[in-house]
Amino acid sequence: MRIYIPGTWPMLRKLVKTGRFDPIGGTAFALTPRLREAYVSGDDEELEYAAMNEAARASLRLLAVEFGLGEDQVPARRVVVAADLEDVTLRPDLDDGAVRISGAVPMTAIAAVHVDTEEAEHAVREAASVVDKADLGDLDAEFLVGEAEDHELAWYSPEEIAFLVDLGEL
């Protein structure tokens, strides 16, 4: 099953060092039956894109925590790791596309990494500061989160991850 795991820049940095991606709490997103039911129409590709967007929103929440801990030097870029895993448990208690995975994801299971470009950093930083308010229905916060979500995530192959991290550290 293709899953989408929310992450942050420090998590990518650790992936490069260790060869495995450690998801926070084992949370990931996928095209689940419940996600499919939530949409009136859409093919698998469109619905997987919706699952990836849920992971990107979760990445904003992770960034909010890092910034709240004073990690202001962390690049304000949403990170989503796409991987293919078989051992996935549905999480109907969370979002429609939420799943749980156990343990770290080896580099060999990673299909791609999706990351914001530098142009998105201001919008992402603003959105991370209000994502919880947006989740609770604050319209101004929803607008700021929407501004960040208007930026498309760039796609990188697994072979490009180390180069991407090095480039981002400059």
pLDDT tens, position by position, 144-159 = 999 999 999 999 999 9
Given this model, what pLDDT does residue 170 score?
Answer: 37
Asked if residue 167 belongs to a domain, the reply is no
Asked if residue 61 belongs to a domain, the reply is yes
Q: Which of 54, 63, 124 is nearest to 82 (CA)?
A: 54
Asked if residue 146 belongs to a domain, the reply is no
How many domains is the chain partitioned into structurally? 1
Asked if residue 163 belongs to a domain, the reply is no
Given this model, what pLDDT does residue 169 score?
Answer: 56
H or E stretch at 64: helix 44-68
Tell me the average pLDDT of the chain.
89
What secondary structure letter does DSSP report for 89? E
Asked if residue 159 belongs to a domain, the reply is no
Instruction: Give this prediction's pTM.
Output: 0.92
| pLDDT tens digits for range 30-88 | 988 787 777 777 787 888 898 999 999 999 999 998 887 666 677 899 999 999 998 88
Q: Which residues contact 120 (CB under 8 A, 6 or more apart)?
A: 76, 77, 78, 148, 151
Asked if residue 79 belongs to a domain, the reply is yes
Asked if residue 137 belongs to a domain, the reply is no
- φ/ψ region of 30 (left if φ > 0, alpha if ψ in -120 to 50, else beta) reads beta
Asked if residue 11 belongs to a domain, the reply is yes
Structural domain of 72 = 2-116
Please tell me the distance from the alpha carbon of residue 67 to that of residue 96, in angstroms, as a whole number: 27
